[in-house]
Amino acid sequence: MNAMNVLPLQVMGAATVLAVALSLWAGSGDGARAMVRTAFLRLDRLTTSLAAALASLAMVIAVGAGAWQVVARFATETPSVWSEALVRTALIWMAFIGVAVALRAGALVSIDVAHRLSRGLLRRTLEAVALAAILSTLGVMFWFGWTMAERVQFQEMAGLEVSMAWGYAAIPIGAAFAMVGAIAHFLDRQSSELENAA
């Protein structure tokens, strides 16, 4: 493994352990723990609403640019050089930002059989392990997405003539939103999907 990547991975591992431990602490009990939990869930409401709005806006932009491409190509017979690149970039942003909303709702793949068959401490342990796996993956996405955006900042997207960093920035920004959503879902499970599954 590249020595340059070892330190960031160690930091992400330590941050994951710390985040899961703090989530377990804030998720159980009252007093200061309840205050921390409530404050984090308020932050989550703000970030998840913002993520949903941004993902929806990205989808509207993708649909609009795609519709323009069809009109330009077939009605005016002068294909647009920018619309395909804009559609691709908008869909990337929609997907990476939308992951935060999906994580908050508990809509991503989960170990539902183990979750349904477990109770008490075992169930909470499974949830903590799942949270650790999610945060570790998102941490890797954040770090390497950030470094990739820095590397390509002087390259331009064909057709749009803007920095490629705007496209790659969706990865770390989406990962940051998703981390908040994952922790909030751990603290306040609102999805009845697992409990209602057959």
Check residue 33 and give its pLDDT: 86
How far is it, in rounded angstroms, from Cα 36 to Cα 26?
6
Round the average pLDDT of the chain to a whole number and report it: 87
Q: Is residue 2 part of a domain?
A: no
Domain range for 123 is 33-189
Q: Cβ distance 97 to 82 under 8 Å?
A: no
User: Among all chains, which residue has been given the structure tokens 């920095």?
Assistant: 163
Q: Is residue 1 part of a domain?
A: no
Q: Is residue 15 part of a domain?
A: no
Confidence band, pLDDT 50/70/90 cuts, at residue 3: low
Q: Is the pLDDT of residue 115 over 80?
A: no
Q: Is the pLDDT of residue 197 over 50?
A: no
Q: Is residue 13 part of a domain?
A: no
Q: Is residue 198 part of a domain?
A: no
Number of domains the chain contains: 1
Check residue 4 and give its pLDDT: 67
Q: How crowded is the C-beta side of 87, counted as CA atoms within 13 Å? A: 13
Q: Which of 141, 131, 145 is nearest to 180 (CA)?
A: 131
Q: Is residue 44 part of a domain?
A: yes
For the chain, give the percent of residues with pLDDT over 90: 53
104 membership: H or E segment, kind and range: helix 83-105
Check residue 2 and give its pLDDT: 64
Q: Is residue 57 part of a domain?
A: yes
Structure-model confidence comparison of residues 115 and 193, the more confident one: 115
Q: Is residue 14 part of a domain?
A: no
